[in-house]
Amino acid sequence: MYSTVGLLKNAKHSGKLVGTHQRLDRAARAWFTRMAPEHEFFPTAKEIQHFEGNRGPDGLKWKSPGIDEPMHFILPDNDDGKLVSMILNHQYNLRQALKTGNRERAAFEAAWMAHAITDGLTPAHHFPYQEAVSELMTDKEYVKIFGRPVKGIMRGDTIAEATRNNWLYWGVEGYMTKHIAFEYGVALVAAPMTNKALIPKLKLAELKKYQDYEHIDLKSEFYASLKKIDDLKMYDRFRKNGWNTELALESKKILLPEIVKLITLGWISSLPIASGEPVENSVENHKTTSGLTSEDMEKK
């Protein structure tokens, strides 16, 4: 999903201008405030959004293509468990940061967890993208322009093969063209929605269940939401018929509120009150699945 603007290197407002990830994070933070105990320490929406855009997972795609770059794709019918493990690692790291009062680290983990959850539940990420790219990349090395690797340019043994590969990737019906077009449609739906509209409408029994923090199983909740969204086959229908009113309504009524719900549950399930684990002495050097700390992202 888009974190859109703010990807220019060292941009002052990187991650602050509203993309879809930032929009969903703000709504989730608003719902979190209503769901979590008032005394619980947690980063603000502003602090969380600091680690989106240039400082988020999307920023790595152009800073260092293919290096420490978390892949947020998942095949619902053939899941390898890697994305869920990444989310649970962020949950662990966030809990430790909250226990020790490490506000910056907590904001970093909250943002990157939310990013992984959002991408994981986005239908465009339920496509075998890596396999498709592998078929088109004759050479795994990225094309370099002025010595800098550039992601998204397909190679080939001949000019004709390179042209064909790039058309299959970027052409009218190309893999990435379709991916971007779907996410752009969702972004247009999300942009004007208020926090109230994005927050899921839950029955009282379900709401009470989620307020029982100690028994939230984030892994099970993620897979339940994944199935709910996958059953709609939104991306398959989009690839066949393009963007339409039906997909827009499903995004507004089902997809986006479901993502906000899972982001919020991810954060709530990370609260120290939700765990009986002993407080760790330090988590300063405990890295995320991507191998990066918040300090690493600031330096990049």
pLDDT digits (tens, 9 = 90+) for 175-191: 667 878 898 899 999 99
Q: Looking at residue 139, what DSSP letter applies?
A: S
- pLDDT at 198 (0 to 100): 96
- pLDDT at 295 (0 to 100): 52
Place of tokens 């986005």: 122
Average pLDDT across the chain, whole number: 77
Phi-psi region of 101 (alpha: psi -120 to 50; beta: other; left: phi over 0): left
Asked if 24 and 259 count as a contact pair (C-beta separation under 8 A), the reply is: yes
Q: What is the dihedral of CA 109, 30, 278, 290, to 10 degrees?
A: -10
- pLDDT at 280 (0 to 100): 42
- pLDDT at 78 (0 to 100): 86
> Distance between terminal CA atoms of the chain?
22
Q: What is the C-alpha to C-alpha distance for residues 100 and 206, in angstroms, rounded to an integer?
A: 31
Q: What is the C-alpha to C-alpha distance for residues 139 and 263, in angstroms, rounded to an integer?
A: 37
Domain presence at residue 291: yes
In order, the DSSP letters of 78-106 are: S--SHHHHHHHHHHHHHHHHHHHT-HHHH
Domain presence at residue 10: no
- pLDDT at 278 (0 to 100): 44
**Residue 71 in tokens:** 């892949």
- pLDDT at 162 (0 to 100): 63
Buried-exposed string 233-252: b where 16+ CB fall within 10 A, e elsewhere: ebbebbbeeebeeebeebbb
Cβ neighbours of residue 66 closer than 8 Å, sequence gap 6 or more: 142, 149, 151
Q: What is the C-alpha to C-alpha distance for residues 262 and 258, in angstroms, rounded to an integer?
A: 6
- pLDDT at 223 (0 to 100): 97
Number of structural domains (the chain) is 1
- pLDDT at 102 (0 to 100): 95
Domain presence at residue 1: no
Domain presence at residue 215: yes
- pLDDT at 56 (0 to 100): 77
- In one letter, which amino acid is 231? D
Element (H, E) at 144: strand 143-145
Domain presence at residue 295: yes
> pLDDT digits over 19-61, tens only?
889 999 999 999 999 888 776 789 999 999 999 877 877 765 5
For residue 166, CA distances in Å to 135, 139, 169, 177, 250 come to 12, 13, 5, 11, 32
- pLDDT at 146 (0 to 100): 43
Domain presence at residue 212: yes
Q: What is the C-alpha to C-alpha distance for residues 156 and 139, in angstroms, rounded to an integer?
A: 7
Q: Whole-model pTM? A: 0.76
- pLDDT at 8 (0 to 100): 45
**Spans of the chain, pLDDT less than 50:** 3, 5-17, 64-66, 142, 145-149, 278-294, 297-300
Domain presence at residue 5: no
Domain range holding 37? 20-299
Domain presence at residue 7: no
The answer to whether the Cα torsion of 209, 210, 215, 220 is positive or negative is positive
- pLDDT at 282 (0 to 100): 33
For residue 71, CA distances in Å to 93, 114, 185, 287, 290 come to 19, 14, 22, 16, 9
